[in-house]
Amino acid sequence: MLVEAANRLNIKTLVLDSAANPASQVSGHHTKDDHIIGSFQDPVLIAELAKKCNVLTVEIEHVDTKGLDAALEQNLVDQIHPTPQTIRTIQDKYAQKLHLIKHNIPVADSKDVSSAADIDRAVSEFGVGYPVMLKSKTLAYDGRGNRVIKSASEIAQAITDLGGGPENKGPELYVEKWIPFSRELAVMVARSVSGNVVSYPCVETVQKDNVCHIVVAPAQIDGLVREKARRVAENAVTSFDGAGIFGVEMFLLLDDTIILNEIAPRPHNSGHYTIEACHTSQYENHLRAILDMPLGNPEMKVAASVMINLLGSGSTLEDMESSVLGPSRAAFSVPGASIHLYGKESCRKGRKMGHITLTANSMPEAAAGTRTILEYNGLIDT
């Protein structure tokens, strides 16, 4: 989707990713062989990409940031956005949290842990008992780095599930106080190289099994709360260096308190709806931001929008049919529905295979279309 936006602006993009990645399939200015096939965790391949480009950016934060540092030091590339240091801080969710605390952004209480005893102690310190959320500091996304611990007897299993923890030479972990949120909100914020900032309307995200399932734009909450969320998000993003678009995930409590959950230093699932529903999409504004062009209008150009993720239900053709192609076909008959299929090579359980965005003249109209799509094959269950 980033490359699609680049194509329209005549911005030439080269992609470093594994073979058959969706981005290199749609590049308008390069053939398949121009792209670099391999891992974005490999500093040698990052150097190879940097030599061919003027500006580097990321659309996933789990990259080798030392490779990015080296590309700048060796003048292989003019600029990298966001900065490697910002990506480094954000890719370690605990370091990100410490950074946000330092900048007075409201976040959930959390504690660095390396053993079951540490977790037990942290729960006592939080003072509200179970549940708590155990999180992996790095390489977390789509709920993969999280385990809910509902009682002391579940601690050992949660550590094992997240790869063993530091005590067993596994990934670094931290534990977070449970946030009894009423809703989850998200705001996309773009900042250009010159320091101009725009933010998108506050949306509600609905997660299923820790993975984003539906996005409702704008969030159906008091407009003042939406503006408060926007301010929290802008303050958080401007506390980091570097240009680009950032996704800010937040919890809304019943008393309208807002707590920041996490930041993504890149275009974000909660901003997919902006392609059809806003004057300038998150992708175009990311490009404008990192190339220091004037930022585009982030406001919605329709009254209401809903985005539905197409998450794979498994790896068989039947799974592909029931979770991806079927709902897409159902969307053909819904006015205002735009279907995005990513061209990923294989379907897997929980894999994001595409999404559908509905634009409508009212939220009831968007909700009706959403129901038609979710009712396909009983996907509706909440």
Radius of gyration of the chain (CA): 21
Q: In terms of CB distance, is 73 or 209 closer to Na ion?
A: 73
Q: Give the DSSP per-residue string, 61-78.
A: S-S-HHHHHHHHHTTSSS
Q: Rounded to the nearest 10 degrees, how much is the dihedral formed by the CA atoms of 343, 217, 147, 152?
A: -170
Task: Give yes or no for a contact between 243 and 113, defined as CB atoms under 8 angstroms apart.
Answer: no
The pair of three-digit structure tokens given for residue 31, joined into one six-digit string: 């053939």
Nearest approach in angstroms of CB 262 to Mg ion is 5
Sheet of strand 173-177, all strands in order from the earlier edge strand to the far edge: 110-113, 173-177, 132-136, 146-149
d(CA 218, CA 306): 9
Query: What's the number of CA atoms in the CB half-sphere (13 Å) around residue 278?
Result: 26
* Residue 77 interaction partner, one of ligand ADP, Mg ion, Na ion, none, beta carbon < 5-8 Å per kind: Na ion
Least separation in angstroms between CB 350 and Na ion: 37
3-state secondary structure of 292: coil
Shortest CB 16 distance to Na ion, Å: 13
Q: How far is CA 24 from CA 21, 52, 195, 355, in A?
A: 6, 15, 30, 19
CA distance 235 to 100: 10
Work out which of 14, 63, 77, 320 binds Na ion, going by CB under 5 A: 77
Selection from ligand ADP, Na ion, Mg ion, none that 37 binds (CB < 5 to 8 A by kind) is none
CB nearer to ligand ADP: pick between 107 and 287: 107
Please give the residues from 131 up to 160 whose contact with ligand ADP meets the rule CB under 6 A. Answer: 133, 140-143, 145-146
Q: How far apart are CA 35 and CA 120, in angstroms?
A: 48
47-54: long-range contacts at Cβ-Cβ below 8 A with a sequence spacing of 24 or more? 47/71, 47/74, 47/76, 48/16, 49/14, 49/16, 50/76, 50/77, 51/76, 52/14, 53/14, 53/77, 54/78, 54/79
Shortest separation between residue 93's beta carbon and ligand ADP, angstroms = 7
Q: Cβ 297 to ligand ADP, closest distance in Å?
A: 28
Binding mask 203-232 vs ligand ADP (x if CB under 6 A, - otherwise)? ----x--x----------------------
Q: Does 60 bind ligand ADP (CB under 6 A)?
A: no
Contact call for residue 172 and ligand ADP (CB under 6 A) = no
Closest CB to ligand ADP: residue number: 179
130 contributes a contact to ligand ADP by CB under 6 A:
no
Answer for which of 17, 59, 64, 184 binds ligand ADP (CB under 6 A) is 184
Piece of 32-40, 146-154, 217-225, 246-254 that binds Mg ion (CB under 5 A) = 246-254
Q: Which is nearer to Na ion, 49 or 123 (CB)?
A: 49
> Which residues of this chain interact with Mg ion, rule CB under 5 A?
249
> What residues make contact with ligand ADP under the rule CB under 6 A?
108, 133, 140-143, 145-146, 176, 178-179, 184, 207, 210, 249, 261-262
Residues that bind Na ion (CB under 5 A): 77
